[in-house]
Structure 1
Amino acid sequence: MSTKTLEQVESQFETFQILDENGKVVNEEAMPELSDEQLQELMKRMVYTRIWDQRAISLNRQGRLGFYAPVAGQEASMLGSQFALDKEDWILPGYRDVPQIVFQGLPLYQAFLWSRGHYEGGQMPDGLNVLFPQIIIGAQIIQTAGVALGLKRKGKENIALTYTGDGGASQGDFYEGMNFAGAYNAPAVFIVQNNRFAISVPVEKQSAAKTIAQKAVAAGIEGIQVDGMDVLAVYKATNDARKRALAGEGPTLIETLTYRYGPHTMAGDDPTRYRSSDLDDEWTKKDPLVRFRKFLEEKGLWDEEKENEVVEQAKADVKEAIKKADAAPKQKVTDLIGFMFEDLPANLREQMEQYTAKESK
Structure 2
Amino acid sequence: MKRAFPVIRIMDQNGKMTDDAYTDQIDKDFARTCYRQLVCMRAFDRKVINLQRQGRIGTYPGFEGQEAAQVGSALALREDDWMFPTYRDHAASITFGKSYNILSSWNGRLEGHVPPEGKYIVPPSVPIATQLPLAAGAAMANQYKESTQAVLTYFGDGATSEGDFHEGLNFASVFQAPVVFFNQNNQYAISVPIWKQMHSETIAQKSLAYGIPGIRIDGNDIFVVYFETKKALQRARSGGGPTLIEAVTWRYGAHTTADDPTKYRDQKVENEKRRRHDPITRLALFMKEYGYWDDTWAKALEEEVKAEIDEAVKDLESMPPANVSDMYDYMFEEPTWTIEQQKEAYMNFLRGDM
Corresponding residue of 2:120: 129
Corresponding residue of 1:229: 220
1:104 aligns with 2:85: no
Choose from 38, 41, 50 the match for 2:42: 50
Per-residue CA distance 1:167-195 (angstroms, 9 max, x = gap): 11111111110111010000000111111
Corresponding residue of 1:190: 181
Choose from 268, 273, 276 the match for 1:285: 276
The two structures have a TM-score, normalised by structure 2, of 0.92
Corresponding residue of 1:140: 131
1:163 is paired with a residue of what secondary structure? strand
Choose from 222, 247, 251 the match for 1:256: 247
**Ranges in structure 1 where 5+ consecutive residues have no aligned partner:** none
Corresponding residue of 2:64: 72
2:216 is paired with a residue of what secondary structure? strand
For the residues of structure 1 that align with 2:20 and 2:255, how far apart are their CA atoms? 35
Corresponding residue of 2:210: 219
For the residues of structure 2 that align with 1:286 and 1:347, how far apart are their CA atoms? 51
Query: Deviation of residue 335 (structure 1)?
Result: 4.1
1:248 is paired with a residue of what secondary structure? helix
Most deviating of 323-332 and 335-344: 335-344
Query: Deviation of residue 125 (structure 1)?
Result: 2.9
User: Which amino acid is 2:285 matched to?
Assistant: K
Q: State the Cα RMSD in Å.
A: 2.3
Counting matched residue pairs gives 349
Tell me if the contact between 1:147 and 1:160 (Cα under 8 Å) persists in the aligned partners: yes
Residues 129 and 218 (structure 1 numbering): CA distance in 2 closer, same or farther, change over 3 Å? same
1:57 is paired with a residue of what secondary structure? helix
For the residues of structure 1 that align with 2:284 and 2:154, how far apart are their CA atoms? 25
User: Which amino acid is 1:268 matched to?
Assistant: D
Tell me if the contact between 2:184 and 2:247 (Cα under 8 Å) persists in the aligned partners: yes
2:188 is paired with a residue of what secondary structure? coil
Choose from 18, 30, 33 the match for 1:26: 18
Matched residues, percent identical?
37
Tell me if the contact between 1:293 and 1:302 (Cα under 8 Å) persists in the aligned partners: yes
Tell me if the contact between 1:119 and 1:336 (Cα under 8 Å) persists in the aligned partners: no
Most deviating of 22-31 and 96-105: 22-31
1:17 aligns with 2:9: yes
Tell me if the contact between 1:200 and 1:271 (Cα under 8 Å) persists in the aligned partners: no
User: Which amino acid is 1:101 matched to?
Assistant: S
Corresponding residue of 1:165: 156
For the residues of structure 2 that align with 1:195 and 1:345, how far apart are their CA atoms? 39
**Ranges in structure 2 where 5+ consecutive residues have no aligned partner:** none
For the residues of structure 2 that align with 1:196 and 1:350, how far apart are their CA atoms? 42
Query: Deviation of residue 135 (structure 1)?
Result: 0.9
Tell me if the contact between 1:18 and 1:31 (Cα under 8 Å) persists in the aligned partners: no
Tell me if the contact between 1:186 and 1:245 (Cα under 8 Å) persists in the aligned partners: yes
2:181 is paired with a residue of what secondary structure? strand
1:189 is paired with a residue of what secondary structure? strand
For the residues of structure 2 that align with 1:169 and 1:347, how far apart are their CA atoms? 33
Corresponding residue of 1:301: 292
User: Which amino acid is 1:306 matched to?
Assistant: W
Query: Deviation of residue 349 (structure 1)?
Result: 7.3
Residues 280 and 32 (structure 1 numbering): CA distance in 2 closer, same or farther, change over 3 Å? farther
Corresponding residue of 1:180: 171
2:330 is paired with a residue of what secondary structure? helix
For the residues of structure 1 that align with 2:133 and 2:157, how far apart are their CA atoms? 16
